[in-house]
Amino acid sequence: MKEATNAERPWRDLTDPRRAIGVDDLEAGLKEPVFENLEIPEALGPVTITVDDHKIKRFSFTQDDYLPWYLQDGASPFDGARIGQPCLLGNDLVQLFTTRYRASKTVGFHTEEQMWFDSPVKLGERVTMKGTYVEAYERRGQGYVVMEAQATGEDGRSIVRHRGVEILRTVPGKIAGRGSETPEKRVTGEVSASARRIETITRDVRVGDVLAPAVKTITAEQAAVFSRIGEYVHNIHNDLRIARAGELPTLIVQGQQQAGLIGEKMVTAFGASFFTDGWFRVKFVSPLQVFDPIELSGVVTDVTDVPGGRLKVELEVWARRASDQRLTTVGWASGIVG
């Protein structure tokens, strides 16, 4: 069998092992994912994929998110068409770096994720994604890199935009949970016992309202599928030996997979409008082990009028481990209500 060159290497569905047929080394010609090899700016992609039935169903499995909008014809508020989950393309955007770097050599740590949701992606649609490494810096002995990326539909419209911060190679067990140096208002996840609990955000929303908690458990199987086990890419999310080498006691859930849970929670809160006017920015502050239940919630921090007689609602959001009540993900989100 031969090695695949960069020119021959097609983009892939991130968990499809058929790419390996006839090829010994899927990563031949790619760079080692170390800070010293970064080029700023550095283009990543473009690549094109088709959002098919399998991709949507697989994401439903990894996130345990089976909303009929994604799985049933005629169910969505977008002319009944089946659509993809809001964060369906999130990992594809994060993984754009693997068009230049060897994924199997990466022991990184996703520290921050920001996504803007501009329009829903449709079943069967061809989507083009491209990104750029726009910044690199060192802090507390770690090398960070910032990626900006976008997914566009076949008609040229923006579907989702991404800005992520990652430590390119590290020992995850040594840095996980040590907190952020970013000088901004800290999200504590603390709410008043007397606060009104709400499932959805409507026009009568008020500051201090708390989203009714949703409990999720990401299994080892879900984490492995999300993190490319089908391509036999080994990492701290699907291979215990790699996790132990990173000084972790067991597999941990990828930050982007947790971001998808935040996206699901925002769809529950805002409904269809989150696909066209939604945003969140989250930080991954403590590792989440597989099979460890988490509780997702948020609190309304501001409500303002926007054109068209609508309201912009801003929140603090978070995910909290059930085992010890420690926060794993914290951040901010916003959406529009009519």
Query: Is the torsion defined by CA of 57, 320, 317, 135 positive or negative?
Result: negative
| pLDDT on residue 6 | 43
What's the pLDDT at 262?
98
Report the distance separating Cα 44 and Cα 128, nearest Å: 12
- Each residue's pLDDT, cut to its tens digit, for the chain (338 residues) gives 545 444 444 445 666 677 777 777 878 889 988 889 999 999 999 999 999 999 999 999 999 999 999 999 999 999 999 999 999 999 999 999 989 988 777 667 899 999 999 999 999 999 999 999 999 999 988 999 999 999 999 999 999 999 999 998 766 666 665 555 454 679 999 999 999 999 999 999 999 999 999 999 999 999 999 988 876 678 888 888 988 988 889 999 999 999 999 999 999 999 999 999 999 999 999 999 999 999 999 999 999 999 999 999 999 999 999 989 999 999 999 999 99
Give domain status of residue 28, yes or no: yes
How many domains is the chain built from?
1
The pLDDT value recorded for residue 237 is 86
Expressed as residue numbers, the domain containing 219 is: 17-173+195-337
**188 domain-assigned:** no
Asked, for residue 270, whether it belongs to a domain, the answer is yes
283, two tokens: 């930080």
* Structural domain contains residue 182: no
Return the SS3 of 256: helix
Looking at residue 15, its pLDDT comes to 61
- Is 11 a domain residue? no
Q: Would you call the peptide bond into 41 cis, given omega within 30 degrees of 0 as the criterion?
A: yes
Q: Report the C-alpha gap between 18 and 9 in whole angstroms.
A: 13
Domain CATH code at residue 250: 3.10.129.10
Q: Which two tokens stand for residue 118?
A: 């501009």
**183 located within any domain:** no
Q: What is the pLDDT of residues 310-337, one digit of tens each?
A: 999 999 999 999 989 999 999 999 999 9
Sequence-distant contacts of 303-311: CB under 8 A, at least 24 apart = 303/205, 303/206, 303/207, 306/336, 308/338, 309/338, 310/336, 310/337, 310/338, 311/203, 311/205, 311/336, 311/337
pLDDT digits (tens, 9 = 90+) for 251-285: 999 999 999 999 999 999 999 999 999 999 999 99
- Classify residue 190: in a domain, yes or no: no
Contact call for residues 304 and 310 (beta carbons, < 8 A): no
What is the model's pTM?
0.90
Domain membership flag for residue 10: no
